[in-house]
Amino acid sequence: MMGAPLAGVKILDFTHVQSGPTCTQLLAWFGADVIKIERPGAGDATRQQLQDIPGVDSLYFTMLNHNKRSITIDVKNAAGKEVLWRLIRECDVLVENYAPGALDRMGFSWESIQEANPRLILACVKGFGPGRFEDCKVYENVAQCAGGAASTTGWRGDMPMVTGAQIGDSGTGLHLALGIVTALYHRVQSGRGQRVDCAMQDSVLNLCRVKLRDQQRLARGPLPEYSQFGEGVPFGEAVPRAGNDSGGGQPGRILKCLGWEQDPDAYIYFIAQAAVWEPICDIIGEPGWKSDPNYSTPRARLPHLNEIFTRIEAWTMKHDKFEAMDRLNAHDIPCGPILSMKEIAEDETLRASGTVLEIDHPTRGPYLTVGNPIRLSANPVTIQRSPLLGEHTDEILRDVLGCSTAEIDTILWSGAVGPVAKVAAE
């Protein structure tokens, strides 16, 4: 990828599942040579997880591993270890998200990595940072719970709830990618690599920082923008779950639209922004609310939010969500249709912009994926299919490590790389 922003950066992608692969996929999209290291015969566990076509790499894997190359290495085999050490000496970044201590157990401590290649950046995802949970294995929903997201999501009086957005896994991958690029930039001046650590709990909390804001506001009094304030329900000691209340200073709700009885996604998010209060009153047929002191100012409206949104909903229920969107946007009223994944998959605008695109794959055929949401004006990204397991093993040994054919044969027959079946048949 000549001219790509990260062209020439070699990344050892020793990651699996979602958080690590999300990070390295972003770097691959920007042109880094991302070399995915996988266990011979098995690979990243997600190749087999949630398989929709038997024996074919799952969408879970293909959608998180675009633009990468794959080499299989058994790092518990002596020759395999040596291959990884040689790669560490040649590459710029090693990214890993195995269980706490796993890299050390494999024989690759940070100290020994630094000694082998002082310019290398080691980037790690773990569930928790230093402290009482540091040794725990963590998946997405555990991070959502421990990072404060679940306790603040859902309905008051009901149990905590996780969100479908993968803020623990993909959210941490995003944070880690920024850490890596920052460390690469720092290396230009310092000449040295460093460690980049991202804990999933910390990343989720970072995305939930407005709720920690509210926790501190709560110490000074009730939170007037939460529906329960208007309903006269007292606040407890911690930030409550607030349903679909807007998290900011402008009240908002999800409201029913025409057809909601049959269509589970016939809803719109409606923000009663103060700046457009007058057009809102006109549209919903309550022009008197523009001058009525009980409704005319944002503060006066707070105790009446349930009444106000019930009235707005009486209007949205007469329109389908797209028609409502058009009518409201004509007056700059902030709103958004609730889009199902089916609608997103079929959305022509998203297809035209490359946000949703079709990729061909040699064993599964065409599938949909999400394009790179970060657009650089000088560096458009071409999304390439994910690699098959070990597809580039020979190529990487040859062009990254400079191995001769004889050397590659020796490595192959040691059982360190390549399909385990080949070793078994020997």
Q: Is 169 a catalytic residue?
A: yes
The CA–CA distances, whole Å, from 203 to 171, 180, 228 equal 7, 15, 29
How far apart are CB 37 and ligand COA at their closest, in Å?
Answer: 6
What are residue 358's DSSP bridge partners? 368
Eight-class DSSP state of 235: P
Q: Which amino acid is at 300?
A: A
Structure tokens given for 355: 């946000």
* Annotation: binding site for CoA: 18-19, 39, 97-99, 105, 137-140
How far apart are CB 142 and ligand COA at their closest, in Å?
Answer: 8
Interaction site with ligand COA (CB under 6 A)? 17-20, 37, 39, 73-76, 97-99, 102, 105-106, 125-127, 137-139, 169
Structure tokens given for 370: 């999400």
* Annotation: binding site: 18-19, 39, 97-99, 105, 137-140, 248-250
Pick the closer one to ligand COA by CB: 42 or 275: 42
Could you tell me if 162 and 144 are in contact, meaning their C-beta atoms sit under 8 angstroms apart?
A: yes
Pick the closer one to ligand COA by CB: 113 or 325: 113
φ, ψ of residue 66 in degrees (nearest 5): -65, 155
**Cα separation, 225 vs 242, whole angstroms:** 10
**Cα separation, 109 vs 271, whole angstroms:** 51
* Annotation: binding site for substrate: 248-250
Tell me how crowded residue 366 is: count the other CB atoms within 10 A of its CB. Answer: 8
Pick the closer one to ligand COA by CB: 76 or 318: 76
**Cα separation, 207 vs 146, whole angstroms:** 13
How far apart are CB 256 and ligand COA at their closest, in Å?
Answer: 36
How far apart are CB 18 and ligand COA at their closest, in Å?
Answer: 4
Pick the closer one to ligand COA by CB: 126 or 241: 126
Structure tokens given for 372: 């790179």
Catalytic residue among 13, 169, 202, 245: 169
List the catalytic residues: 169
